[in-house]
Amino acid sequence: MPDHDTRFSRRSFVRSGAAACLLTASSGMSLPASVKPLLQPRTRQAEDRRILKSLKIGMVKVDGSLVDKFKAARTAGFDGIEMNSPGMSVEETSKAIAESGLPVDGTVCSTHWSIRHSSPDAGQRAQALQDLQTAIRDTHAVGGNTALLVVGHGQDGPEDEIWPRAIENIAKAIPLAARLGVVIAIENVWNHFLYDHEGDENQTADKFVRFVDELNSPWVGMQFDVGNHWKYGDCGQWIRTLGKRIVKLDVKGYSRANQNWAKLGEDDIDWADVRDALQEINFYGWAAAEVGGGGADRLAEISAALDDCLGLK
């Protein structure tokens, strides 16, 4: 890892971003409509929380327009929402932000499973880079700060081949990410890469640490999924190992006993240790639910489950 002087702490990053917004507002500079809601005071409850709640747009199963979906998420208690890009309409999303008051905190690169940075095909890698750059641009355009990325897949070859291919390709997007202030947030997923898919539950986060550190930029971090690797490792220990590399969280439930996904709060994840670990690494930021969605009642249920699991009440 670069030393402390060459990387931003999370709190410094948030403060610098907030200061920039306040400076822009006070100096009379114009702001995109999508960003203005981010400058409005939050409730005291939200201001006092270390973690703000988000969710994936695909989880919002309510009728109506994108504005209606944003309003439903806000009513359910969420502080933000993640969109998918490529494929997102910046104009419609900006309208939904402005009319609902719910910000977009980030995007998910919508093609990263099928069009991969680790592909042996140079054309596919070029398209993967283009799609990541689109996600970065779209995120910036609507006032978000992360583009979530699955970095590759083990089926693309042995690790000593796919690792350097993915590093080389993703690195090409870092200058754009830095220029626009959007972090490339790597998610730990079941992609047969950076862990042993057939391995036991005692695996470590060491390879993820090496991968992030090899990209050597404050504009690359981890969107750590608490549920994804409960099957393979201790979530609290993974959080402690990844430390300041974690820029955001994804949250879902998994049961080791049943070897299957589970509802939040009905899983066997050690959430008390997760909370302790997040405190120890001084995490401040967003946590996005990534579970089966639904209508208004289901969204409220998910929001309450996040409160319970992450200690947000």
In the chain, the domains with their CATH numbers are: 4-310 (3.20.20.150)
3-state secondary structure of 60: strand
Q: What is the pLDDT along the chain (313 residues), one digit of tens a residue?
A: 333 333 334 334 433 343 333 333 322 333 344 444 443 434 445 556 899 999 999 999 999 999 999 999 999 999 999 999 999 999 999 999 999 999 999 999 999 999 999 999 999 999 999 999 999 999 999 999 999 999 999 999 999 999 999 999 999 999 999 999 999 999 999 999 999 988 999 999 999 999 999 999 999 999 999 998 888 899 999 999 999 999 999 999 998 888 888 999 899 999 999 999 999 999 999 999 999 999 999 999 999 999 999 999 7
At 145 the pLDDT is 97
At 106 the pLDDT is 98
At 235 the pLDDT is 95
At 47 the pLDDT is 58
**Torsion angle in degrees (nearest 10) through CA of 132, 135, 136, 137:** 120
Cα dihedral sign for 114, 288, 248, 211?
A: negative
At 170 the pLDDT is 98
C-alpha 91/C-alpha 102 separation (Å) is 15
Cis peptide before 86 (omega within 30 of 0): yes
Among 165, 172, 170, 168, smallest CA distance to 187 is for 170
At 313 the pLDDT is 75
At 258 the pLDDT is 85
Among 278, 248, 252, smallest CA distance to 266 is for 252
Q: What's the residue count for the chain?
A: 313
CB-side neighbour CA atoms (13 Å) of 209: 13
Which residues, 6+ apart, have CB-to-CB distance to 81 below 8 Å?
Answer: 54, 55, 56, 57, 60, 70, 73, 102, 103, 104, 105
How would DSSP label each residue in 84-130? EESS--HHHHHHHHHHH-PPEEEEEETTTTTS-TT-S-HHHHHHHHH
C-alpha 59/C-alpha 77 separation (Å) is 14
At 46 the pLDDT is 59
